[in-house]
Structure 1
């Protein structure tokens, strides 16, 4: 089955990006939100991607218009999923919220519709039973700045139908991205598993006073040729998200020290409303952060 109609459940930062990339690739997309107010916020978010795609993807005004013509918005779930081939859930990272959504979705979605969770921390087996169609359920994780990062991780659970898995792999290619295929479930997938170690190590160096964040970034950039260091990456992810990730990781055996990291992020960053790029201030100031300025690598 070729996937032609896609529903994005939740039009937040990530959901709106997935929706726009999918519509940009010529598929029909409906963005479902729980209320008119949430839907209005989604429309405002989606509108920001017009200029982004014109600037970074060299999309013409005609292409942008066609993209927006492929987008629909809905606040009634049954209406939204009518005729849907694929529903990608991007609801908050709260088990109870996801359980409630899937219980409702199972009642109204067509029997042939594939369900996918975009969660970056939860595995599909956590929700497979409540979907009512475990064989047609899996995880499909995108990265921020979908249009630039070019990948999506596909992760099934033991009950995922292999044919369904391959349909979703084909869908990822269809929307211009590279499918990263996981062979088994892993809570942090591939990208976040590596990113977690990278960021938590940098944060520990900062918290323990080994070096300031700019020195840590500068060291990484000089040694690897990367255009950003870990603290620039944290600003992009958002400090609220980083705080939650570090707090959750601190519950793992041997990582209790990350409680201190989470505390320092909260006190020095979040409580000062330094949330990252979204607020114009995180570890760096935006839109012209120091790490992009001439002389940063040399420490000038």
Structure 2
């Protein structure tokens, strides 16, 4: 089995997928970003260009490095063509188990035998997609954090059938990106960082719904007393209240724990389409995107 990762394919050109692809290209990997719609890829290119150009202007990156990364990065709708040459495929598609299982089964048919198939999901564990392939030993979760171009942590989460060599290859890959790998011993929905975050978020929402304090003051306490860069309600708006809602549903579906269900206020905002920054209104109001 080849252990050298040279070619990376990322499926899904949303915020996470596009930035993961950019991180890989910046680290020197031949990278392809895939989506089913060309307009999504065009939007991803526009957003990545703006972000990377801003990094150059602020002195965070060198222009030569960014230009070289663009030379290594392909944006395409032809998934199978690039997957057939991939050493590593990172799935960052919609959080829907049925869709993910279909994707992994199809990738298994077109990817070389040595290709590692990983999912960026933090709430759908890889054991739920691994058996859709004929290579469950080369499947795991590889969880980046938003924004992937900035955040250092990447969680590596094997399922019971993941080959230890797969984990070692993922550790080496994450380190080659200039990121910090956090290795879990076993899978659990939410992994480590998001479970810590969910505990804080759950307590914050309970305090708000109980009338203990306004959400703005809870955010203020998190920033000024705990030293957090932003409060839990501000962070929900950044991540997307729709994402928060769906993560809670996915955890409930996997655990059966009624406490995992979305809270009343989160459900109300989700049903009203108030997702945060992406819609212009969440807990706070923002200029329309």
Give the TM-score taking structure 2 as reference length: 0.90
In the TM superposition, what are the counterparts of 1:90-105 in structure 2 within 5 Å?
90-105=92-107
In the alignment, which of 260, 263, 268 is matched to residue 267 of structure 2? 263
Moved more, 186-195 or 29-38: 29-38
Structure 1 residue 257: deviation in Å? 7.4
- Match for 2:30 among 28, 31, 36? 28
Would you say 1:140 and 2:148 are equivalent positions? no
What is aligned with 2:213? Answer: 211
Alpha carbons 1:249, 1:255 under 8 Å: kept = no
Aligned residues of 1:238 and 1:277 also touching (Cα < 8 A): yes
CA shift for structure 1 position 209? 1.9
Change (3 A) 1:276 1:55: farther
2:277 maps to which residue?
Answer: 277
Give TM-score, length-normalised by structure 1: 0.87
Higher mean C-alpha deviation, range 167-176 or range 247-256: 247-256
Q: What's the CA shift string for 1:227-247, capped at 9, x where partnerless?
A: 211111111111211222344
Equivalences, count: 283
Q: SS at 1:278's partner residue? A: coil
Distance in 2 between residues matched to 1:56 and 1:132, nearest whole Å: 46
Cα distance change, pair 111–256 in 1 and its aligned pair in 2 (3 A): closer
With over 3 angstroms needed to count, the CA separation of the structure-2 counterparts of 1:140 and 1:194, relative to structure 1, is same
The answer to which of 33-42 and 157-166 deviates more is 33-42
Q: More deviation in 20-29 or 220-229? A: 220-229
Identify if the C-alpha distance between structure 1 residues 186 and 58 changes in structure 2 by more than 3 Å, giving closer, same or farther: same
Provide the C-alpha distance between the structure 1 equivalents of 2:260 and 2:121, rounded to a whole number of angstroms. 24
> In angstroms, what is the RMSD of aligned CA positions?
2.1
Per-residue displacement from partner, 1:16-75 (whole Å, max 9, x unpaired)? Answer: 010011111111100111233333333233323323432566112222111111101222
3-state SS of the aligned residue for 1:131?
Answer: coil
Corresponding residue SS for 2:130: coil
| Structure 2 counterpart SS, 1:146 | coil
Q: 1:185 to 1:206 in 2, by over 3 A?
A: same
**What residue number does 1:226 align with?**
228
